[in-house]
Amino acid sequence: MKKLKILSIIVFCVMLFGGAVITAVLPKKAYSDLENRNLEQKPQLTKEQFLQGKYQEKYEAYLSDQFFLRDRWVDLAVTLQKQMGKRDINNVYLGKEGYLLEKDDENEYDKEQVEENVKTLSSFLNDMCEMFGEKQVSCLMIPSKTLALSKYLPAYSQVSEHTEVLDALQKSLSHPERMIYLKDAMQSHQNEYIYYRTDHHWTTLGAYYAYKEWAEKSGQAAAKPIAEYTQETVFDDFYGTTYNKVHVNVPKDQVTLFKNASQEAVHVNMDDGDVEADTLYFPKEAKEGFNRYNVFLSKNTFQIEITTKAKTGKTLLLIKDSFANCFVPFLTENYDRIILIDYRYGKLPIGQILDKYEDITDVLVMFNTEKFMQNTKLAGLANAEKKKQTLEEFNPDDFLE
């Protein structure tokens, strides 16, 4: 037994120091597709950084990120934890049928921030109802994948429903019926492929069911039967952001588009001409990185303007997060123009946006519940008063992320 322990220590030391030597001579990676982040690079040694201990911290992070076969070591560690019977790793449940479901702990939210977000959003929705009429305004709240697919959770798992937050939001509305919570609609379809196994987003099928529910309950649009869409699978090799946290061996996801004629005559303008295209789908851009979900509108950004040939005489203002990206194609037959605003990436006051697009007839707010609670950048929604901005009042910071 003593010899075995000594041998284990020797093997560990050889692996540790051998890996460090190999790491030092191998080319360095700048980005990890698996983790969707930039990797630490070798820090520059300075006297000041060394004496303050910052150099040592940065070098340790650099060595960890660049360690020889790092992804394989991570995979091995996860495999060992799984074999030991663990059913959650790095705050991700290893669900049934290969589903990876992120934990959602209510204690991790900043209560003051959540209260501020509820106040800001309810005030905005009330202003919009007064400005456009309540029947032209709606708020779609999306449950977490973990709640929507609760049947796939391991035994004894805990699920947060955030009932208090949603109730507070609805009670703050002058027309509470304009808030639509999708929990029941999503759970009623959880036997179907409505969320990606390895990502937190819903699939296009899930987005369709959400669109149908919204159209029926809000009355702002009419949804076509699913049979009227042509389905095209563009990727079958998608490993999403949830997978990047655990690296377990689960089936790859498929990304499918639901197409009809209304999507063929569109023009997309991102951030006032930064990107322009005559399509809603960007397979080339999605294939260049790991995130196949980027096939929908190519990226998250502050402002996107979509023009269509629907000829309905209606323009929609859509306040959104990334869940809307694969929802938007269904709207192209209902609106001549769709203005998408994501306040995580900009802070131009909503009043100025309303002033710019005077043809807006409808308003839709669409948020994933957890992302809404975590959002620290909704201040732009606080003042819906239209106001022409003079040169003296112009603030270039409004256009910065």
Q: How far apart are CA 6 and CA 258, in angstroms?
A: 60
- CB-count burial class (<10 Å; 0-12, 13-18, 19+) for 101: buried
Lowest mean pLDDT of 101-115, 166-180, 332-346, 360-374, name the range: 101-115
Sign of CA dihedral 382, 307, 277, 281: positive
Say what the pLDDT of residue 387 is: 56
Lowest mean pLDDT of 37-51, 155-169, 231-245, 356-370, name the range: 37-51
Q: How far apart are CA 10 and CA 16, in angstroms?
A: 10
User: Looking at the DSSP assignment, which residues form a beta bridge with residue 92?
Assistant: 89, 102
Say what the pLDDT of residue 222 is: 95
Does 27 score more than 60 pLDDT?
no
- CB-count burial class (<10 Å; 0-12, 13-18, 19+) for 229: middle
- In 26-135, alpha helices (H): 47-52, 54-66, 70-83, 111-132
Does 275 score more than 70 pLDDT?
yes
pTM of the model as a whole: 0.81
Task: Give, for 244, the enclosing helix (H) or strand (E).
Answer: helix 243-246
Between 290 and 400, the more confident residue is 290
Strands 253-259 and 275-277: unpaired
For the stretch 286-308, pLDDT in tens is: 998 889 999 999 999 999 999 99
Say what the pLDDT of residue 95 is: 94
- CB-count burial class (<10 Å; 0-12, 13-18, 19+) for 285: middle
